[in-house]
């Protein structure tokens, strides 16, 4: 009888420890510090090339273009972005047309990413927060978020907005699969736009739509830059004031 009680008590203890172990959150395999280090390294390369202003058509211009595209390819998870934006349409699209659509989506995202974050040198950027987020987006169980604060001069006044990078591991490398600009998700926004077009239109018409968006964006980017009005930067304190 005593032995039976000891066995029951031992089993109870094992059950309690098992429940405690299950209750403890599983440690993430993602490293926000490593993701930030990788992001900073790639952005430094892009910022370096943004300051190089070669004439179009020259060998130096081609070298700059190739270096920028290579760096962005290493940073952005275009495959995830393309699949997410058009969803099941991707699987229904023939291979040659799928490749054409993929290249157009890459071109669109690159245009937005580079122009909005690197080619306006009036921007001042600093990283203010990083961490791991669970289920930020369908298809990504957990990801790293890195929040940066961008300050620009708008109509003679400093204004601030936030840029949040969402990154996950792809073959051992941290890649960005979404960017939020003041809480607006870039790929969710594009998904909503293009999925509406896909309801009644063909893949060819979607490619034409993306081409129009790219042309419009390039046209706007050729105009003098101005930032949307955001919260004003806090005034600097006067150390002599009481």
C-alpha to C-alpha distance for 8 and 14, rounded to whole angstroms: 10
Phi, psi of 111 (to 5 degrees): -60, -45
Residue 3 has a pLDDT of 56
Query: What single string gives the DSSP state of each residue in 174-242?
Result: EEEEEEEETTEEHHHHHHHHHHHHHHHS-HHHHHHHHHHHHHHHHHHHTSPP-PPP-EEPPPPP-TT--
Give residue limits of the domains in the chain.
32-232
Q: Are 125 and 102 in contact (CB under 8 A)?
A: no
Contact status, residue 193 vs residue 172, Cβ threshold 8 Å: no
27 three-state secondary structure: coil
Compare 83 and 36 and report the one with higher pLDDT: 36
Structural contact between residues 210 and 194, judged by C-beta atoms closer than 8 angstroms: yes
For 50, residues 6+ apart whose C-beta sits below 8 A from its C-beta are 118, 119, 121
The class level of CATH for 32-232 reads alpha beta
- What pTM does this model have? 0.73
* Percentage of the chain modeled with pLDDT above 90: 26
**What pLDDT is stored for residue 137 in this prediction?**
92
φ/ψ bin of 23: left (φ > 0), alpha (ψ from -120 to 50), beta (otherwise): alpha
How much is the mean pLDDT over the chain?
78
Q: What is the pLDDT of residue 132?
A: 96
């Amino acid at each position: 009888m005593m032995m039976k009680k000891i066995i029951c008590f031992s089993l109870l203890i094992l059950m309690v420890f098992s429940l405690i172990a299950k209750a403890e959150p599983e440690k993430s395999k993602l490293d926000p510090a490593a993701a930030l280090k990788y992001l900073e390294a790639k952005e430094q390369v892009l910022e370096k090339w943004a300051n190089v202003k070669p004439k179009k058509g020259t060998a130096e211009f081609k070298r700059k273009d190739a270096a920028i595209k290579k760096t962005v390819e290493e940073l952005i998870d275009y495959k995830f972005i393309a699949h997410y934006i058009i969803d099941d349409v991707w699987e229904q699209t023939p291979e040659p047309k799928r490749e054409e659509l993929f290249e157009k989506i890459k071109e669109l995202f690159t245009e937005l990413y580079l122009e909005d974050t690197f080619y306006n040198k009036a921007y001042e950027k600093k990283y203010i927060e990083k961490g791991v987020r669970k289920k930020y987006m369908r298809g990504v169980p957990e990801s790293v978020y890195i929040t940066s604060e961008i300050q620009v001069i708008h109509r003679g006044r400093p204004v601030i907005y936030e840029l949040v990078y969402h990154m996950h591991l792809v073959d051992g490398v941290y890649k960005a699969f979404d960017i939020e600009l003041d809480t607006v998700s870039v790929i969710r926004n594009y998904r909503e736009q293009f999925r509406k077009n896909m309801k009644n239109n063909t893949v060819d018409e979607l490619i034409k739509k993306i081409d129009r968006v790219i042309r419009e964006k390039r046209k706007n980017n050729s105009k003098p830059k101005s930032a949307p009005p955001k919260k004003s930067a806090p005034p600097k304190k006067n150390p002599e004031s009481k």
